[in-house]
Structure 1
Amino acid sequence: MIELFSGLDAWVVISLILALTFVLAFEFINGFHDTANAVATVIYTKAMPPQLAVLFSGLFNFLGVLLGGVGVAYAIVHLLPVELLINVNTGHGLAMVFSLLAAAIAWNLGTWYFGIPASSSHTLIGSILGVGLANALLNNIPLADGVNWQKAIDIGASLVFSPVAGFLAAAVVLLILKKWRPASKMHKTPDQRKKLDDKKHPPFWNRLVLVISAMAVSFVHGSNDGQKGIGLIMLVLIDIVPSQFVLDLTSTTYQIERTRDATAHLNQFYQRNSATLGEFLALGKASDSDLPAQSSCNPKQTEPTIHALLGNLEGVADYHTLAPEKRIEVRRYLLCLDDTAKKVSKLPVLDARERADLDKLRKDLTGTTEYAPFWVVVAVALALGIGTMVGWKRVVLTIGTKIGKQGMTYSQGMSAQIVTASMIGLANIFALPVSTTHVLSSGVAGTMVANKSGLQGGTIKTILLAWVLTLPASMALAAGLFWLASKVLGT
């Protein structure tokens, strides 16, 4: 990490340290804000002592970040339009990062203070969208181009669909358990268990399932939410220290060759489909002088971009041998080619097989730009894991006692946790960010309805209000802060 600070001006070093601190603070707050949801049922049902549950949850959050990959991280990053991502500028990057993080942290702390199970995912995504839209307004860019709307729609759909699916799936799982074992002790609440059986803890097998499913929720929470922090740190590093992070400098010769080969094969792909793609890409019409501008990408510049990228990568076996400005140039070309390929893949003229080939080429094309250094992963894992171990009591009380009119039974806790872990695990596979908070609280609500326990209207309204307000509130706050920061920094 020491090389981060070599050759940097003092103000840049201070800005970098502050920006990294902000990201890790967000993950720390995310830990005690969201992980309360992961351990709420296991604590409320007395399956584990609170301190032990939180300790183990922190450990599994840590492991989830370490083993989670970077798919969700770059899904978050690519909410911003490619033009904003290729415009590497220290002042602009600082304004963007500090604005969205300050907005996300402020909203998270506020909802935590009042014990509201609001979503860190919604908060972060809203903040990113707010920065993107504010940037468009400040630079006279059409709002349609201010955000990667297709990615925003995909992520929005996953955030909306997952709580509904959690509600229904948890209700179904509970009904199956009641049908299978209607007289089982797992359908008792902790208070009923204490009063009728004079037992403090759930029956052994129920307790085991509650513990395992709670740790599974913690693990998938770490792998999903931890990646959001990884994506934020990579935004910070690329904007503030571009020469060292625009490309993965640890890439092997083989990985660089794969990038070069993917570029050549992409060119062959376009030539093979020139009859249908020629007009969209201006094949054979653009000259090699028509390269992407410093801050924009255009599909009609695809051929010159491919030729320039192949020229830059010719004979390169180690990215360290490229001059810093060449690294930035290579990244810009790669992002533009990937952005165009993504647009091409959505054209109706391509058949399914060609579309699948193009998707494979895109993965190889971005192999050395979508990455995260190991120290970044460890730092985020530690921040999330340590954050897990504090501040959990407020939200546990809401999840365990204030959603339903009656206390939660063991079977309800198991149903909600199993569904939550499964759904977030699936989201990780498809690189979609989802909200642990909303999936679990919706799952608990679903089991309350299925159990005919009824719902507490006040709590449900509060949770729904936070769900509805989080996105626009964080967007507005981040947009306002970005406008202010841009004026102060003169970006």
Structure 2
Amino acid sequence: MEVALVILVVALALGFDYTNGFHDAANAIATSVSTRALTPRAALLMAAVMNFIGALLGTSVADTIARNIVTFDTSSGEGAHAALVVVLAALVGAIGWNLVTWWFGMPSSSSHALIGGLVGAGLAGSFIVQWGSVFEKVVIPMIVSPVVGFSLAFGLMIGVLWLFRNARPGPTTRGFRLAQTVSAAAMALGHGLQDAQKTMGVIFLALLTVGWANDGDGIPLWVKLSAAAAISLGTYAGGWRIMRTLGRKIIDLDPARGFVAESVSAVVLYVMAMGLHAPVSTTQTITSAIMGVGATKRLSAVRWGVAKNIAIAWVLTIPMAAGIAALTFWILHFFLL
């Protein structure tokens, strides 16, 4: 039974990774597409390649997911079995919420959906949730990263506007369109570095649960490659509904503002992953940066009604994914435990 459950967990984890790719593809490329710096297909291909590369650059976020969210007692066969069911239910909760928000075109966080799923299923299974680590690694970055993204984007955009205040509009716009190719690639790299690692962490957690990996071991190469491939394929499939929300509904972006928003978002993602080992939301980061550059036009230039709806989706993500995961655990518990 454990072998079948592990196989199912791996399959669902890669399925989640795929949905993460098409759900969050807009994070990396919506601004570049909306400013016509890149064609949609070229942008998706570039994002898929950079997602794959970014996924292989580190494992610090994966370690956080595997070791610092829920503590499992796997000393008995029954405990290991229940832990696998928790991971399975967590993935169902995350995928379910991803699909709901994708359908309505709302850029919610796949990262927080997965963490919410783990917390909800872990509580339903009477396992220990590491609340201190969740607060430090999830809640604080969830609050800080949008604030930092907005503030940095606003400040940097003011500096860019001052620096190019006397420049000719035509050449400047063309230059920023070219620069956006680089900033979009950097954003996609950061997305792979953050989001693909979360899937690696879930698969590694399942392997640890059944003793197929040791806690001191690194994440196996096949896990890294499969997670990188799944998120890349999902990215190339595209997320057109959410792309329209990020690229057009919040504010009408120009190339300079698109470049600044992508650059700031990429920096925040790198610092959080490499420096703090924190699984932050790429969605929150880029959306707040877009609002920041938009606010430099005037506050009314940002469509705050759309921003409010996005913020509601952010707030609901962890509890809704947790609820779906807990319900799934109880159903699976009835049939499998």
Q: Indicate if the aligned counterparts of 2:44 and 2:238 stay in contact, CA closer than 8 A.
A: no
1:385 paired residue among 226, 232, 235: 232
Q: Indicate if the aligned counterparts of 1:80 and 1:132 stay in contact, CA closer than 8 A.
A: no
Counterparts of 1:31 and 1:91 in 2: how far apart (Å)? 29
Q: What is aligned with 2:175?
A: 205
TM-score normalised by length of structure 2: 0.93
Q: What is aligned with 1:252?
A: none
Q: What is aligned with 1:449?
A: 295
Counterparts of 1:396 and 1:445 in 2: how far apart (Å)? 15
Q: What is aligned with 1:239?
A: 209
Counterparts of 2:34 and 2:225 in 1: how far apart (Å)? 31
Q: What is aligned with 1:230?
A: 200
Matched residue type, 2:67: H
Counterparts of 2:260 and 2:327 in 1: how far apart (Å)? 41
Q: Does 1:216 align with 2:186?
A: yes
Could you say if the C-alpha distance between residues 47 and 394 of structure 1 is closer, same or farther in structure 2, counting changes exceeding 3 Å?
Answer: same
Q: Indicate if the aligned counterparts of 1:29 and 1:108 stay in contact, CA closer than 8 A.
A: yes
SS in 2 for 1:372: coil
- Deviation, 1:90, is 4.3
Counterparts of 1:120 and 1:90 in 2: how far apart (Å)? 26
Counterparts of 1:81 and 1:13 in 2: how far apart (Å)? 21
Q: Does 1:402 align with 2:249?
A: yes
Counterparts of 1:454 and 1:178 in 2: how far apart (Å)? 16
Q: What is aligned with 2:62?
A: 73
2:320 paired residue among 473, 480, 484: 473
SS in 1 for 2:180: helix
Q: Indicate if the aligned counterparts of 1:79 and 1:128 stay in contact, CA closer than 8 A.
A: no
Q: Indicate if the aligned counterparts of 1:217 and 1:417 stay in contact, CA closer than 8 A.
A: yes
2:259 paired residue among 414, 434, 444: 414
Q: What is aligned with 1:178?
A: 161
CA displacement 1:224-247 (0-9 Å, x = unmatched): 11110000111222234x2x32x2
1:118 paired residue among 88, 108, 112: 108
Q: Indicate if the aligned counterparts of 2:74 and 2:80 stay in contact, CA closer than 8 A.
A: no
Counterparts of 1:84 and 1:123 in 2: how far apart (Å)? 23
CA displacement 1:292-324 (0-9 Å, x = unmatched): xxxxxxxxxxxxxxxxxxxxxxxxxxxxxxxxx
Q: Indicate if the aligned counterparts of 1:78 and 1:148 stay in contact, CA closer than 8 A.
A: no
Matched residue type, 1:448: G
Counterparts of 2:159 and 2:101 in 1: how far apart (Å)? 34
- Deviation, 1:81, is 4.1
Could you say if the C-alpha distance between residues 147 and 168 of structure 1 is closer, same or farther in structure 2, counting changes exceeding 3 Å?
Answer: same
Q: For the pair shown, which has the larger CA radius of gyration, 1 or 2?
A: 1
Q: What is aligned with 1:158?
A: 141
1:426 paired residue among 271, 282, 288: 271
Could you say if the C-alpha distance between residues 185 and 219 of structure 1 is closer, same or farther in structure 2, counting changes exceeding 3 Å?
Answer: farther
Q: Indicate if the aligned counterparts of 1:79 and 1:129 stay in contact, CA closer than 8 A.
A: no
Counterparts of 2:85 and 2:321 in 1: how far apart (Å)? 16
Could you say if the C-alpha distance between residues 181 and 80 of structure 1 is closer, same or farther in structure 2, counting changes exceeding 3 Å?
Answer: closer
- Deviation, 1:473, is 0.8
Counterparts of 1:86 and 1:124 in 2: how far apart (Å)? 25
Q: Does 1:463 align with 2:313?
A: no
Could you say if the C-alpha distance between residues 164 and 20 of structure 1 is closer, same or farther in structure 2, counting changes exceeding 3 Å?
Answer: same
CA displacement 1:373-406 (0-9 Å, x = unmatched): 10110000000001001132111111121112xx
Q: Does 1:375 align with 2:222?
A: yes
Higher fraction of helix: 2
- Structure 2 unaligned segments of length 5 or more: list them: none
Could you say if the C-alpha distance between residues 172 and 86 of structure 1 is closer, same or farther in structure 2, counting changes exceeding 3 Å?
Answer: farther
Counterparts of 1:109 and 1:410 in 2: how far apart (Å)? 30
Counterparts of 2:23 and 2:239 in 1: how far apart (Å)? 7
Q: Does 1:101 align with 2:91?
A: yes
- Deviation, 1:49, is 1.2
Q: Aligned Cα RMSD in Å?
A: 1.9
Counterparts of 1:85 and 1:216 in 2: how far apart (Å)? 40
Matched residue type, 1:445: M
Counterparts of 1:175 and 1:62 in 2: how far apart (Å)? 33
TM-score normalised by length of structure 1: 0.65
Could you say if the C-alpha distance between residues 480 and 168 of structure 1 is closer, same or farther in structure 2, counting changes exceeding 3 Å?
Answer: same
Matched residue type, 1:181: F
- Structure 1 unaligned segments of length 5 or more: list them: 1-10, 187-196, 248-330, 332-367
SS in 2 for 1:389: helix
Q: Indicate if the aligned counterparts of 1:403 and 1:460 stay in contact, CA closer than 8 A.
A: yes
Q: What is aligned with 1:258?
A: none
Identity %: 34
Q: Indicate if the aligned counterparts of 1:39 and 1:53 stay in contact, CA closer than 8 A.
A: yes
